[in-house]
Amino acid sequence: MIAIVCPGQGSQKPGFLTEWLALEGVRAHLDRLGEAAGLDLVHYGTEADEESIKDTAVAQPLIVAAGIVAGRLLADRLGPEREDIVFAGHSVGEITASALAGALTEEEAMVFVRTRANAMAQAAAAVPTGMSAVLGGKEDEVLAALRAGGLTPANINGGGQIVAAGTLEQLAALAENPPARARVIPLKVAGAFHTEHMAPALEPLRELVRSLSPADPVHTLLSNADGAPVPSGAAGLEQLVAQVCRPVRWDLCMATLLDRGVEQIVELPPAGTLVGLAKRGMKGVPALAVNSAAELDAARSILG
């Protein structure tokens, strides 16, 4: 069993798509995806600075597009007849995984992420909020400290990492008084994603999904809600909407992958974050971060 995993917001870096433009068809593919997203993805993936691509309205479509492009370059290895492939995405990466698993078309994925990103950016602008990674400590003690401080465990990532989300004042208080044996590291994100602070983003997405036609995934697709396989395209789309305000349980996704006997992880670009989590939460399972053409060739070899 091979897991194809797709990263979330914060994984992007300036210029990370530059090398990919040398591959045949990539520029045209990015242009098509950018048209659906209403963004010049080639510019943002190659020329824009760090501050520009940190903007939620840019970062989310850019990350999803990058994963879709890389996934399509591996399409000849990911045929529907294969039963040894499982897809999972972290946060906005769930949209990437949904497209590659066949639950959404590429255009639907880009329209969805455009709406999601814009709505979440507007919600984040309403109240100054943010997120901080809490590394180390005992999980029950960390969760108790977050509850006591009015914070939400927005990402439970496994491997000793929990991401706290809330107001900037709440996060500052946590940093001043961290849980025992834990470090608190502020993240470069614009808001308290996957919390009730994002509730205003739900209605635009609910309105949008009425115009979409999800299909049942052709490969196993895991949900961030509980790590379980998505039962249908319609259910998966409902979960994508709800996940805007619901914590990401990446720890449960990794547990499902282990239960299913996954022998290799391939992380699509902008890759590295999920490989890092797998090293701590899925010890002994080989993991490849695909960020270059050479690593794409390695992924092809793995997929056979």
Residue 135: the pLDDT is 95
Residue 275: the pLDDT is 97
Stretch (H or E) spanning 206: helix 202-209
pTM: 0.94
Report residue 26's pLDDT band, with 50, 70 and 90 as the boundaries: very high
Mean pLDDT of the chain: 95
Residue 159: the pLDDT is 85
Rg of the chain over all Cα atoms, to the nearest angstrom: 18
Mean pLDDT, residues 250-257 taken together: 97
CA distance 248 to 79: 28
Residue 10: the pLDDT is 84
- Reply yes or no on whether 91 is catalytic: yes
Question: Domain 2-125+195-303 belongs to what architecture?
Answer: 3-Layer(aba) Sandwich (3.40)
Is residue 101 over pLDDT 90?
A: yes
**CATH homologous superfamily for the domain 127-186:** Malonyl-CoA ACP transacylase, ACP-binding (3.30.70.250)
Polymer length of the chain: 304
Mean pLDDT, residues 59-88 taken together: 94
- The percent of residues above 90 in pLDDT, for the chain, comes to 91
- Catalytic-role residue among 29, 90, 132, 194: 194
Report residue 201's pLDDT band, with 50, 70 and 90 as the boundaries: very high
Residues of the chain with CATH 3.30.70.250: 127-186
Report residue 80's pLDDT band, with 50, 70 and 90 as the boundaries: confident
CA distance 183 to 134: 6
Would you state the structure tokens that stand for residue 231, as one six-digit string?
């039962």
Residues of the chain with CATH 3.40.366.10: 2-125+195-303
pLDDT tens for each residue of 264-285: 999 999 999 999 999 999 999 9
pLDDT tens for each residue of 168-192: 999 999 999 999 999 999 987 889 9
Mean pLDDT, residues 40-60 taken together: 94
Is residue 242 over pLDDT 90?
A: yes
CA distance 90 to 43: 24
- Which whole-number Å values give the CA distances from 67 to 90, 98, 106, 112, 120, in the listed order? 12, 11, 11, 15, 20
Helix/strand/coil (H/E/C) assignment for every residue in 144-186 = HHHHHCCCEEEEEEECCEEEEEEEHHHHHHHHHCCCCCEEEEE
- Catalytic-role residue among 11, 91, 98, 132: 91
As a 3-state breakdown, the chain gives helix, strand, coil percent values, each rounded to 5, of 50, 15, 35
Q: Order of strands across the sheet with 264-267?
A: 220-221, 85-89, 2-6, 264-267, 287-289
Angle CA 226–229–235, to nearest 5: 85
Contact 133, 187 (CB under 8 A): yes
